[in-house]
Chain A
């Protein structure tokens, strides 16, 4: 059974601190996506990682992909309150057009 698991599910952190969200998946895939969702809103694309070893950074967020370990990380540097949201990773199953989403990580940054 295909699983896309995120860790942690909930994260409460102080402003200025660093933290990493992990995304593990159980299928072969070389495409991984990170999204942000604010309450009651749709999903906003953050990163698209298309190959093993890919690393992308935007502001205080940096994402990486290790396809051999079937692991992606989303690293938060010096968190600010505006980063409070739910973050999802998604995997495209190789050879299909199906995108499976992780369980989500609800992040709350405390001032």
Chain B
């Protein structure tokens, strides 16, 4: 079965500090990968998605970037965090059949 490992579970960072969140995928090859952000009590906002190594599509202009250096690795980064970057970040993946979108356990980011 497909599994997404995402870490850390909780992160507290000062404004202006850098960010690196990583997720890795097991159980499928060549997955499509996604980063979503969820503000408190709100829905999921698609930030980035990737259909292959080095291929990144950005959905929302913002202070974040994404990279996919390996087939099963997806990284979310920022050079300087803003207060508005706080939220629950979820990495997700789907296999080539696209019959399921599966999620990691999420990272709760608080920017202070």
Give chain A's interface residues, CB within 8 Å of chain B: 31, 33, 40-43, 45, 48, 50, 88, 90, 92, 97-104
What is the bound-complex CA distance between A99 and B105, given in angstroms?
Answer: 18
Cβ of A40 to closest chain B Cβ, rounded Å: 7
Contact (Cβ within 8 A) A99 B99: no
Shortest Cβ distance from residue B74 to the other chain A in the assembled complex, whole angstroms: 13
Supply 24 A–B pairs (Cβ within 8 Å), ascending by A.
Answer: A31-B98, A33-B101, A41-B105, A42-B90, A42-B105, A43-B44, A45-B100, A50-B99, A88-B43, A88-B44, A90-B44, A90-B101, A92-B101, A97-B32, A97-B51, A97-B94, A98-B46, A99-B92, A99-B101, A100-B46, A101-B36, A101-B44, A103-B43, A104-B42
Complex: A41 Cα to B66 Cα, angstroms: 23
Q: B44: which A residues are within 8 A, CB to CB?
A: 43, 88, 90, 101
Contact with A along B80-112 (1 / 0, CB 8 A): 000000000010101000111111111010000
* Contact A42-B43, Cβ < 8 Å, known A97-B94, A97-B98, A98-B49: no
Q: Which residues of B contact A (CB under 8 A)?
A: 32, 34, 36, 42-44, 46, 49, 51, 59, 90, 92, 94, 98-106, 108
The reply to whether B103 and A42 form a contact with Cβ atoms under 8 Å apart is yes
